[in-house]
Amino acid sequence: MGATASHAGDVSPAGTSTSNADPYLWLEDVRSPHAMAWVRAQNASTQKQFASTPEFAGTRDRLLGVYGSDAHIPYVYRQGSYLYNFWQDKAHPRGIWRRTTLAEYRNTQPHWELLLDVDALNKAQNSHAVFKGAECLEPAFKRCLISFSPDGGDAVAVREFDVPSRSFVEGGFALPAAKSTVGWIDENHLYVSTDFGPGSLTDSGYPRIVKRWTRGTPLSAATTVFEAGTKDLSASANHDPTPGYERDIASVYRDFFHTDSYLLENGKRIHIDVPGDALPSTFRQWLLVQLRTAWTTGGKTYPPGALLAIKFDDFMAGKRDFTTLFSPSAHSALSGYSWTRHHLILNVLDDVKSRLEIVTPQADGQWLHQSLAGAPSFSSIDVSGGDPEHDDEYWLTVNGFLHPTSFARGVIGQGAPEILKQAPAYFDASAFNVSQHFATSKDGTRIPYFEVDPKGMKLDGSNRTLLYGYGGFEISMLPSYSGGLGRGWLERGGVYVLANIRGGGEYGPQWHLGAMQANTPLIYQDFAAVAQDLIARGVTSAQHLGAQGDSKGGLLVGNMLTQYPQLFGAIVCGMPLLDMKRYTHLAAGASWVAEYGDPDDPRQWAFIKTFSPYHNLKSGTHYPAVLFYTATSDDRVGPVQARKMAAKMQGMGVKKVWFYENTEGGHSGMADYRQAAFRYALTYDFLWDALK
């Protein structure tokens, strides 16, 4: 293993049009025979090198024991008196949708009521559909809109399902595959935004028109209620059926970070006048506004990252006397929040560690703050409410690098939450330590990172180390338990490091806003600083240090490849953006201009090109070994950027460039547990070999 790659199909096939500026443009024709022949040749070469050995089979089988295990937690969500679950295992690789009661769920082996078997449906239809969720009509939850992706991508077909009869509704609501958003108004009406034909999509490929669709009528007869522009990201509408607080709200998403929302009332559209970059939400009588930038209103200035509350009707009447429910500090940020019937639960990060707080409105207009039982050290918490129309139930998912996930239910005011399900330990956590460290980036900013390493590890620079990061869209990288990582990497003696670089949300919106567009290089400086700190501390050395990232994380490690090749021995680049000149013209790329900038604007291309890995490859440079992983069915980023980057590097004569493209799985790159086991076995075996 580890020999120089020699691939077929590295150049444009005869008769295929190419561009002098980009000789690999032909690979952008995603499913063309020529492009797919290149993909098959690449896959065969990569499989021969890494997936045909007894060692790989052993890694894959150990991971199958994790991803295909029947001992996973059956996570549930409440709808009325039932708890619903979607479950996948060896017998049901595409999954079953089912439900049970709370009393049954408390049992070690609950009795489940089967609602839909996706594998059986696929067999009957000769399809490969992937279940993408169900939206059921309140309050009875008897009729549901079920979404299916034909290949695991973002485009979904929608079919109406009748729960009591366990069958699809003949002549019911149905939509062909598209990037649709649908929602119930009542039993006979939906809000639908979908591909209505020419001119109905934005430049990003999402619906820009919202219509009201009546049962029994063709989609073409649906009535338009709202439209966004072609330069916007998308549009949608929803109906809140809460008795006494019924509302219809339409939203136009200008980009990923700016939204205008409107109350639809008596045929009028009334703007909900909050900042366009804020995140508003309504619940019963309340309007909550989570700020991304400072806002001066009502004679007060509220800081970025604050969460504000006011009664919705008062706000629409012009009042601005907000109550601040959360205000960030230098070390804390709001990760999320969730309502119960009478309370609001805040999920707060303190230096990337979770704590929970209950906030309760009082009769005098004040809000009472109380703490809620937290989590073990170096762990993360995900909290969600139950059915807020019925009680103060909440659900907690708690896990950490060395703490198998637990799933608990609580009711505010009724004592500590009850752990109902506990995931098994897939590896011996007692053999490892978890610690948090801080690196200093180029501009002096302290960058936190978590390290998981074997007890007694020698700081002699010899340890194979996997550094993971993302750095974008205000998404936080939090401690979590991974049986696959434990079995595939840690048990071998590898070190795992999770970097909390800028671009994420670990320290609130400013952690993200300060690293967008022209400031994007700060993200890469942060990641490089963590790599340098690991080397300086003796944890590892450049030849033993690998980096992995997916999606925007793929762009991150693509920049490690081109800007900091001296720091790494290997790179795993999954579902990546890499060609930042063409990204707005590929898949859903136009929707990310707010994050990266517009490469068609020469002034913006001037800074974008500095972090476009495809354009920053240089002949004569020694690059670390690299594995590109993508999926043909990825309709979000698309597979073509990884294809072109691999082809260009191979065409330059760069050694140890590997490529694998799964056909299914969409942006995750995997549609079931077997594909997951293959993907991560390939990742860990490639890294272990390259970093030896």
Beta-strand (E) ranges in 415-464? 418-422, 432-440, 446-454
How far is it, in rounded angstroms, from Cα 468 to Cα 401?
14
- Identify whether 329 is a catalytic site residue: no
CB 24 within 8 A of CB 12: yes
Supply the DSSP symbol for 613: G
Q: In Å, how far are 68, 121, 123, 148, 151 from 127, measured between CA atoms?
A: 22, 8, 7, 11, 9
Residues in the chain: 692
CB 580 within 8 A of CB 598: no
How far is it, in rounded angstroms, from Cα 624 to Cα 176?
44
Assigned token pair, 549: 């990232």
Residue tagged active-site, from 72, 128, 403, 667: 667
> What pairing do the DSSP bridges indicate for beta strands 379-385 and 393-400?
antiparallel
If DSSP codes are grouped into helix, strand and coil, which group holds residue 682? helix
Q: Cα(first)–Cα(last) distance of the chain, in Å?
A: 11
- The H or E element spanning position 184 is strand 181-186
Nearest to 187 by CA among 210, 166, 214, 163: 214
CB 434 within 8 A of CB 450: yes
How far is it, in rounded angstroms, from Cα 623 to Cα 566?
8
Please provide the DSSP assignment of 470-518 as one string.
---TT--------HHHHHHTGGGT-EEEEE--TTSSTT-HHHHHTTSGG
- Identify whether 585 is a catalytic site residue: no
CB 235 within 8 A of CB 278: no
How far is it, in rounded angstroms, from Cα 476 to Cα 473?
9
Nearest to 372 by CA among 408, 412, 331: 412
Residue tagged active-site, from 551, 591, 612, 668: 551
Nearest to 236 by CA among 265, 271, 270, 261: 261
What's the Rg (C-alpha) of the chain? 25
> What values do phi and psi take at 119, rounded to 5?
-65, -45
Active site (catalytic) residues:
551, 667
